[in-house]
A and B are shown apart, each in its own frame.
Chain A
Amino acid sequence: MAERKPPDSLERLDARLEEARRRQPDGRSRGVETEGMSAFGFAWRVGLELISALVVGVAIGYMLDRWLGTRPWLLILFFILGSAAGLLNVFRMTSGLGGAVGHGKGPGGRITEARTRADDTDEE
């Protein structure tokens, strides 16, 4: 039966595939299996973004202090700047811009979506 008219059935399969692809929200096929853990993963990632910017800020402040001999002041200044950068990272992450730098609009929805996908596949 199937052998008698393979072109037809293949074409129908193609049409069905095409329809299924259109129904599927773009790019949502991967990375959804961790939905249950995503809240925890999200919280973990917020902490990571905050801390990593803070570490960079403190390191810069400490090294500039040692270099310029202005003991505590630059460390304090860069501690504050680092916290601000950490909050900026978190803000970008939650607004779907991922680790992007710059305030402008992302170059397209595709990228924003890929970023949110990268966000919610993160865990532990």
Chain B
Amino acid sequence: MAAAGTDSPLEQFKIEPLIPIHLGKLDLSFTNSSLVMVVALVLITSLLLVGARPRALVPGRLQSVAELAYEFVANLLSDTIGEEGKRYFPIVFTIFMFVLFGNLIGLVPFSFTFTSHIIVTFALAFSVFIGVTILALARHGLHFARFFVPPGVSPALWPLLIPIEIISYLSRPISLSVRLFANMLAGHTLLKVFAGFVFLLGFAGFFPLAFVVALSGLEFLIAFLQAYVFAILTCLYINDALHLH
């Protein structure tokens, strides 16, 4: 790419160890990615703690934001799972807020977008996948195997259809994680590429600048949308695990 590497549009995704920690062969360094994750956690926690403190009947600004987030996720759960879904509020709310804040912090100039790394989104999606599978197994025991047997099909076709169903099930965490990662990666790269054009084109750089402004707005929408999609798919997977069909 670019010679110096400092003006590459992909420079923003570079992981830099801030505090190197090596345990045996494991590299557990505290990186800029970890730093932003900690910042996200601190922001989420303080939003909820500070926001919920007044406990006013007519909420102030911060309390409104906290209540909006709470109600949004609560509605999501009752829409997709129903009454039973309330038990899974903590995990869905945590995932939603973590992804949302990861996306939003990434939009701050000179910060870092940890959701633009496939390993982060895959770890999230894979934990959801494992959790949902354990939930289904705990709920239904060996009946869980019926999940993979299409009803109304003669047993002669089972050897063909069951592997297909299993592959389809295993592809869930991949499509879930790639969706979030690709959206963030593509959006941020596009922003940087067009921002680079602004200086290259001189006076005509006004046009890419206008485009970057519009694109930034769109990125805000995508930041919310992808957190929403991630949360709603988590809800749907939980629902599938609860009500096998």
Of the candidate stretches A2-10, A12-20, A65-73, A106-114, the one touching chain B is A106-114
Given contacts A98-B236, A118-B232, A124-B222, contact A53 B148 (CB under 8 A): no
Given contacts A52-B175, A102-B147, A107-B245, contact A114 B168 (CB under 8 A): no
Name the residue of chain A whose CB is nearest to the CB of B80. A114
> A residues 75-111 with Cβ under 8 Å of B?
78, 81-82, 84-86, 88-89, 92, 98-107, 110-111
Contact across chains for B152 and A84 when beta carbons are under 8 A apart: no
B175 contacts which of A60, A99, A101 (Cβ < 8 Å)? A99
Given contacts A52-B178, A114-B79, A118-B229, contact A103 B167 (CB under 8 A): no
Name the residue of chain B whose CB is nearest to the CB of A58. B167
Q: Does B21 count as interface, using CB distance less than 8 angstroms?
A: no
Q: Which residues of A contact B153 (CB under 8 A)?
A: 103
Q: Does B174 count as interface, using CB distance less than 8 angstroms?
A: yes
Q: Does B239 count as interface, using CB distance less than 8 angstroms?
A: yes
- Residue among A49, A85, A106 with max Cβ neighbours from chain B (10 Å): A85
Q: Which residues of B contact A33 (CB under 8 A)?
A: 221
Given contacts A48-B175, A52-B171, A56-B174, contact A84 B232 (CB under 8 A): no
CA distance A107 to B232 in the complex (A): 16
CB distance from A4 to the nearest CB of B (A): 23
Contact across chains for A102 and B178 when beta carbons are under 8 A apart: no
Name the residue of chain B whose CB is nearest to the CB of A103. B150
Contact across chains for B175 and A117 when beta carbons are under 8 A apart: no
CA distance A60 to B166 in the complex (A): 11
Q: Does B244 count as interface, using CB distance less than 8 angstroms?
A: yes
A99 contacts which of B82, B233, B244 (Cβ < 8 Å)? B233
Q: Does B156 count as interface, using CB distance less than 8 angstroms?
A: no
CB distance from B126 to the nearest CB of A (A): 12
